[in-house]
A and B are shown apart, each in its own frame.
Chain A
Amino acid sequence: MSLWVDRYRPKSLGVLDYHKEQASQLKNLVKQGDFPHLLVYGPSGAGKKTRVTCLLRELYGPSVEKLRMESVSITTPSGKKLDVKTISSNYHIEVNPSDAGIYDRCVVMELVKNAAQTHQLDPSGQRDFKVVVLTEVDSLSVDAQHALRRTMEKYVATCRLILISNSTSRVIPAIRSRCLGVRVAAPTSDQIVSILQMVCKKEGLTLPLELAKKIVDKSERNLRLALLMCESCKVQETPLQDKQEPILPQWQVFLRETARTIMHEQSPKQLMEVRGRLYELLCHNIPIQMIFKGLLKELVSNCDMRLKAAVVEEAAFFEHRVHQGNKGIFHLEAFVAKFMCIYKKFMEDSVIDMF
């Protein structure tokens, strides 16, 4: 019993549901001898990982799917021992270096070195290189990225890197120029609808068009989220109904309420209350970026253009601050306080204008 997301994940480049032209280009790439380093980027839920697994299968055949979980222990220069979880097959190894926090540099260096220095035992193996898949490259520290750049060059003969990231803005140019960029755009709404319907058909269900559209709207073009929502709808009620409402994640509802509290009253007392709610969100590991975006979306709804611009500017300013420090709550709270201040002033001014 597995989730739909996993059960209906395409297994080879030929059966992908969208971006077919790109898939055929990737096939061409595999056919040729020289395989470059890849940088796969796109928003979450667009199918980056799926494409990479398909690509690996195309490179090495079905045996690449025999995966095993391993825990590699790495000693940092300062003598600290780290355990890093990796997923590997005979041909590739996959790791999320940002798990190691500030020691990501050592992880990158060690793993790539280990993978590159062991040669393929079977000389008849199709490829003479292994693949190292690094996920979430955009949260790698700059130091680690520079280290990567050097390792990429040094071990190019024995290993290729596939980097997966959400955006290339945070990847240093030196790495970008060494990789072949593969952009994976999010599927369009129609594509998601047709995929949802196909999956439901395979499950022996009929998905009303109305509901499918609702799910797509809520999922913000994130295919994984759409599939999960669809499945949860099924759990809620089978057969699927037209008027059924897809369930939003709890935290989004909570965030919306938080925004409403801020709009309702602007006072130090209210700020204390908001602080409690923000802590609650942070405790549940909601990324700060999402909180900022969600709050902003709700807060600006009642402002005129000039005020909107001011609020957006503050949001951008404080969100940037979050990345410089390491205590997110300060900056979130500062943003809320600033908003209250701007908003209240605006309201008072408009009241004065009326008289």
Chain B
Amino acid sequence: MQSFLKTGKLGSGSGAGPSGEKSSAKGQKRGNKPTPWVEKYRPRTVEDVVEQGDVVAVLRQCLSGADLPNLLLYGPPGTGKTSTILAAARQLFGDMFRDRILELNASDERGIQVIRDKVKSFAQLSASGVRPDGKPCPAFKIVILDEADSMTHAAQAALRRTMEKQTRTTRFCLVCNYVSRIIEPLTSRCTKFRFKPLGEEKVVERLELISREENVNIGKEALHTLIEASGGDLRRAITCLQSCARLKGKDSSSAINNDDVVEVMGIVPNRWIDGLMSVCEEFDYYKLTEYLDRFIMEGYSAGQLLEQLHLKILMTDTISDKQKATICDKLAVCSHRLQEGASEYLQMADLCCTIMLCLRQ
């Protein structure tokens, strides 16, 4: 959804036509089209960006006239990488924002051909140092490559020379989750900034602000669960908050409680995890299969269970390190198999049998 709006803004980007048209048509029909809160509360200026001191400092200098280096922003999802660069670009270029930015969402346009045609031709255009109204503005364009870690190596390699040749007119900003997937020659051409997962207080602050603005009634405990489950991913937290609010209805008086959050996030409730561990301790295969059947009937996701079980096992003191190692080894194998489409029941049974035997030793 978020990227859709990005492409919508882009206008010149590929295939944005239908969505762009439609959203304007929609705008006429309904005065205030409901927007996702993630978009509504996206930071507008660089100063608004939560935490991330270093990169903000650099961008601020650039805003006051200094040169901008090529940037490589990396960090876990939902920490504000894309928001930061978009906010900065908007401040730099003002109304000319659309003409000066080429944003490529690498998840679909990742081929070498796109780099050769689109990026290169965009980079070759020169940009003037004054705005139409006479004010000065930086004489370069910015190419934002979002999700750059899913670009093929060939495409990344094609970018190398382009990046150097066009420094006079173009700056590149690569945004990715895993810096290790970007090839060395590219990383050495960019200034790297790591985005830290957001601290709990900051997330609380932000969520409280939003719930005040939107008139959402959320309990303290529920908020805590929400933040814990989102693990520093602000986007996920906000999306979840909005989903909860939607389900509750606008004019409902009841507050969003813990169960709502758990349901919307798709988390397996803790009692199921504890139950599983105690069943494993009992060393009874039939109880185990019965428990697993019930678990699957409830419709919870096995993948999610594995993730939560992993945390639980790490945090349990009564299990020795060696046992933990054996269990985690199996956990990794099962998780991998699940991803490839293996049966949930069999994988969970396998894992639980391993845990049983391990706990017996």
Contact = CB atoms under 8 A, between A and B. Distances in A.
Are A and B genuine complex partners? yes
Contact of B246 (A180, A316, A319): A180
B239 A177 contact: yes
Interface string A143-183: 00011011011111110000000011110001011101101
Interface string B6-31: 01000000011011001100100110
A309 B18 contact: no
A29 B34 CA distance: 13
B343 A292 contact: yes
A178 B1 contact: yes
Centre residue among A26, A33, A167 by max chain B CB count within 10 A:
A167
A19 to B, nearest CB: 11
B192 to A, nearest CB: 25
A260 B304 CA distance: 36
Contact of A320 (B1, B304, B337): B337
Nearest to B338: A169
A27 B308 CA distance: 31
A119 B26 CA distance: 11
A128 interface: yes
B243 interface: yes
Contacts of A167: 299, 301-302, 344
Contacts of B19: 154-158
Nearest to B248: A28
B296 A313 contact: no
9 contacts: A152-B4, A155-B18, A167-B301, A170-B339, A177-B236, A183-B298, A292-B343, A315-B349, A316-B349
Interface of A: 25-26, 28-29, 31-34, 36, 41-43, 46, 116-117, 119, 128, 138, 146-147, 149-150, 152-158, 167-170, 174, 176-178, 180-181, 183-186, 220-221, 289, 292-293, 296-297, 300, 305-306, 308-309, 312-313, 315-317, 319-320, 323-324
Given A26-B247, A167-B301, 11 more contacts: A25-B247, A32-B246, A43-B299, A146-B107, A150-B107, A167-B302, A177-B236, A185-B299, A316-B350, A317-B350, A324-B340
Which 9 residue pairs are nearest across A and B when measured between Cβ atoms? A28-B249, A153-B4, A316-B350, A42-B299, A309-B353, A34-B34, A169-B303, A320-B342, A157-B22
